Structure 1
Amino acid sequence: MRLLLDSFWRAVAYCMLPRVIVLSLLPLGLMVLLAAGFGYFYWDATVAWTREALDAWPLLSSFWGWIGRLFSGDVTAVLAPLVVVVAATPLIVVVSLLIVAGLMAPPLTALVALRRFPALERKKGASFFGSVARSLGVTVLALVALVVSMPLWLIPPLVLVLPPLIWGWLTYRVMSFDALAEHASPEERATILRAHRLPLLCIGVLCGYLGAAPSIVWASGLLFAAAFFVLVPLAIWIYTLVFAFSALWFGHYCLDALAQLRARRGAAAAASVPSDGAPAIEADQALLSQWKSP
């Protein structure tokens, strides 16, 4: 618990550093460019396809007609852009996580190591491409879990539990691996992840709930169309800042756990090896006994 709380407060303090704020803005700029490119090339086609899909449902055609007569308008024409935006939200979250893991997590972990653990040896237990491959693999598993669990979201309590739990597991698997990739050996990383699995999962789940908070800003952008292009980038920046906080929290926790593990192993190794002065003391005692003997 001490390690959990200590790493939390340190991560909060590090989020206020200008370097961290600038790093949190870089993925935002990249994502804005990607979103603008998608909107320029694919927005009209995606909205048109979504509208055709909504109109093609026989069970809902009469419902759309009734709503249209009630509000005197084309419901699918208004609903299709909202469906596209809502459907893009999980993709934006996943892209944010991958961008943070690939671009932000290594510099943030290096910042933690430089300021707190400058003497910690870097054993380079994982490569950059190995980290990216692992991130992609667990992301695919998380997306599959999200799709499979969507029918359970209709049950009110589960919709508040399952998505943050899945995002928490994804954050835990990605961030903890990246935090130890540079400094820990594969054996040390496996030992720490096995010994601290529950606290690291708790950090991931808490960060998953924090990642759901910007959805309020996102929903406001959907409700207030005039402020859409202001609130949605703000929500994306909050997402990236939450992920930066997650990287810092995992970095502080994992590097502190690694330092403690090496300290314990060093103390155990020093205790198991006799001191250099022991043989000399034994030899002096033998000479003294021979001198006293007649």
Structure 2
Amino acid sequence: MISDLARAFIDAARSLLHPKMLAIVLWPMVLSLVLWGVLAWFFWDNWISLLGHWLQPAQEFLSQHDFVWLANGMTVVLLVLLVMPLALTTALFIAAVMVMPMMVRHVASRDYPELERRHGGTFAGSIWNALIAIGVFCGLWLLSLPFWLLAGLGALFSLLLTAYLNQRLFRYDALAEHASHEEFQLILEQSAAQLYLLGMLLALLHFVPVINLLSPVYTGLVYIHYGLGQLKRLRA
């Protein structure tokens, strides 16, 4: 199992350095940042006002105990902490739905040319899978917000939820073109733990500044190499 995971990371890094991949590697994150930048431009005051209303009891408590500076900055800090995961989720969605088909064709033609395409997935299936993944992620993420008040637990839940999002978003598109429906289900059954472990390791990259600009496309490449590698082994 470990060798399969390591091979997927190494092969994905090699694919990332190809000129075709370098040409698209920043698209998902840049498009996401532009989208959320535009939304923030129009709705920042509304968001601040809404959060300030929710945080008013905490701000009053801090002000009474000579933490006025913390009370004043709390709303902005919390809003930034809320927007950052949403921007990352948007970038992952763009990578999974818009960029993955091109990445799959590129990787398959260069590294897995012998794999027959059995088209077990569809574009509509990709959209539906992505909507479910993001819906579950956002719902659980909102439920986890109170845990940010407890040291370390908020970050832990964020890591676990991002790991879920990674594997749920990219496993379908990595195999949709080449695996049959039955092969896809069999790989999910056999590799569920490995797929989630991949998601956990890749989630760590999402929180590293600068590297996280590349991480959506790199995440897709890792799942493509792992998924097609497992499919090749299954058919052999």
TM-score of the pair, normalised by structure 1: 0.72
Match of 1:179 in 2: 174
Higher relative contact order (CA 8 A, sep 6+): 2
Matches within 5 A, 1:152-171: 152-156=147-151, 158-171=153-166
Mapping 1:76-91, distance limit 5 Å: 76=72, 78-91=73-86
SS of the equivalent of 2:26 reads: helix
Residue 241 (structure 1) aligns with: 214
Alignment of 1:80-159 (within 5 A): 80-156=75-151, 158-159=153-154
Structure-2 separation of matches of 1:140 and 1:156: 26
Q: Percent identity?
A: 29
Q: How many Å separate the matches in 1 of 2:48 and 2:151?
A: 29
| Contact 1:96–1:240 (CA under 8 A) maintained in structure 2 | no
8 A contact 1:152–1:158 mirrored in 2: yes
Q: Does 1:67 align with 2:67?
A: yes
Asked if 1:260 corresponds to 2:233, the answer is yes
Post-superposition shift, 1:154? 4.6
Q: What is the rounded CA distance, in whole Å, between the counterparts of 2:38 and 2:165 in structure 1?
A: 27
1:194 aligns with 2:193: no
- Per-residue CA distance 1:178-211 (angstroms, 9 max, x = gap): 1001111100100111111121111111111222
Deviations along 1:5-37, one digit per CA (max 9) or x if unpaired, are 222211111222222222122223322331332
Deviations 1:100-125 (A, max 9, x none): 11122221121110101123111111
Report the 3-state secondary structure (helix = DSSP H, G, I; strand = E; otherwise coil) of the residue aligned with 1:29. Answer: helix
Code of the aligned partner of 1:44: D
Q: Distance in 2 between matches of 1:13 and 1:87?
A: 33
Secondary structure, counterpart of 2:220 in structure 1: helix
Give the conservation status (yes or no) of the 8 Å contact 1:164–1:209: yes
Identify if the C-alpha distance between structure 1 residues 123 and 155 changes in structure 2 by more than 3 Å, giving closer, same or farther.
same
Are the counterparts in 2 of residues 164 and 212 from structure 1 also a CA contact under 8 Å?
no
Shift of 1:153: 4.6
- Number of equivalenced pairs: 234
| TM-superposed deviation, 1:163 | 2.1
Tell me which moved more, 84-93 or 174-183: 84-93
Instruction: Give the Cα separation in 1 of the matches to 2:59 and 2:48.
Output: 18
SS of match in other structure, 2:22: helix
User: Which letter maps to 2:186?
Assistant: T
- The structure having more radius of gyration, on CA atoms, is 1
- Mapped partners of 1:52, 1:203: distance in 2: 39
Question: Which sections of structure 2, spanning at least 5 residues, go unmatched?
Answer: none
Q: 1:150 to 1:51 in 2, by over 3 A?
A: closer
How far the C-alpha of 1:130 sits from its partner, in A, is 1.1
Matched residues in 1 for 2:144 and 2:46: separation?
Answer: 29
Q: In the aligned structure 1, how far is the partner of 2:97 from the partner of 2:116?
A: 22
Per the TM alignment, residue 40 of structure 1 is displaced from its structure 2 partner at its CA by: 2.8
> CA 1:45–1:150 in 2, change beyond 3 Å: closer, same or farther?
closer
Secondary structure of 1:84's partner?
helix
Q: Over aligned residue pairs, what C-alpha RMSD do you find?
A: 2.3
1-side partners of 2:33 and 2:141: how far apart?
25
Distance 1:62 1:203 in 2: 42
Take 2:172 and 2:149, find their aligned partners in 1: how far apart are those partners? Answer: 33
**TM-superposition CA deviations, 1:248-273 (whole Å, max 9, x none):** 1111111111112122xxxxxxxxxx
* Equivalent in the alignment of 1:9: 10
Tell me the SS of whatever aligns to 1:196. Answer: helix
What per-residue deviation string (whole Å, max 9, x for no partner) do you get for residues 212-251 of structure 1? 223xxxxxxxxxxxxxxxxxxxx5xx33411211111111
CA contact (8 A) 1:96 1:239 kept: no
What TM-score do you get using the length of structure 2 for normalisation? Answer: 0.88
Q: Measure the CA separation in 2 of the matches of 1:260 and 1:86.
A: 42
Give the 5 Å matches for 1:198-277.
Answer: 198-214=193-209, 235=210, 238-263=211-236
